[in-house]
Amino acid sequence: MLGDKIRELRGKNMTQRDLAKKLGISTSAVGMYEQNRREPDLDTLKKIALLFDVSLDSLTEYPVKTDTSPQYVFQTERTNILPVVGKVCAGNGVLASEDIIGYEPADNKYSSENYFWLKVSGDSMSPKIDDGDYLLIRKQTSVDSGDVGVFIVDGQEGVVKKVIYDENSIELISFNPYYPPIKFTGHDVLRVRVCGKVIESKRKW
């Protein structure tokens, strides 16, 4: 049964509390999974499969339709699994659950509460950041001048830009020279909201 498989994968080197922390759920939930009193939802199943480098089908013993099956091998003791989003939108929070398109590993120092992966769409930050790249974002409401971050303008979908502050202005700059800088002055600076800072990037081939 699924609970037995989870317990077997966890083994002796990881406690239920350790697993719960990596999955971003409660220890009691892990306990109920392993006792076969509750089944994890699809997102949690994806995290478990990715964490232990097994297929979703092997966990459930039936085919699972998903485009985000795990493909990575990594040291679980040094790794957290973070959500990947296709876009960042305005609202009550930085992330909406419907925007999560998968999960990717990150160094254990990056917690799921404060970090997420963003899949880049578009070439405005090329050649340093290309379409399809993954950016590790730290959630924060301010960044320093010269940082690359995620910004929401006028409540629309977030964009990745380099920011330059002046005494009375904010300028959002693309690395791609075909995209001109966007400058906000005076009261218009309030149109810009910071959602996070780019910490690192990775590219898949």
Model pLDDT for residues 108-125, shown as the tens digit of each residue: 888 878 899 999 989 999
Average pLDDT over residues 35-62: 78
Instruction: Find all residues with CB under 8 Å of 21, minimum gap 6, and list them.
Output: none
Q: Is the pLDDT of residue 105 over 50?
A: yes
What whole-number distance in Å separates Cα of residue 49 and Cα of residue 2? 12
Distances (CA, A) of 123 to 49, 79, 161, 180: 32, 30, 11, 13
Distances (CA, A) of 129 to 118, 160, 181: 12, 9, 16
Opening angle at CA 82, ends 114 and 117, nearest 5: 80
Task: Identify the residue with better confidence: 53 or 70.
Answer: 53
Residue 172 pLDDT level (bands cut at 50, 70, 90): very high
Q: Which of 161, 162, 174, 201 is catalytic?
A: 161
Q: Which of 5, 22, 47, 124 is catalytic?
A: 124
Q: Is the pLDDT of residue 61 over 60?
A: no
Q: Would strands 182-185 and 169-173 be described as parallel, antiparallel, or unpaired?
A: antiparallel
**pTM score:** 0.65
Q: How many residues does the chain have?
A: 205
Average pLDDT over residues 9-22: 86
**Summary mean pLDDT of the chain:** 82
Average pLDDT over residues 82-103: 67
Is 58 in the active site?
no
Q: Which pairs count as long-range contacts for 16-19, CB under 8 Å and 24+ apart, including other chains?
A: 19/51
pLDDT in the model for residue 138: 95
- Least trusted range by pLDDT, from 16-25, 70-79, 154-163: 70-79
Is 126 in the active site?
no
Q: Is the pLDDT of residue 69 over 70?
A: no
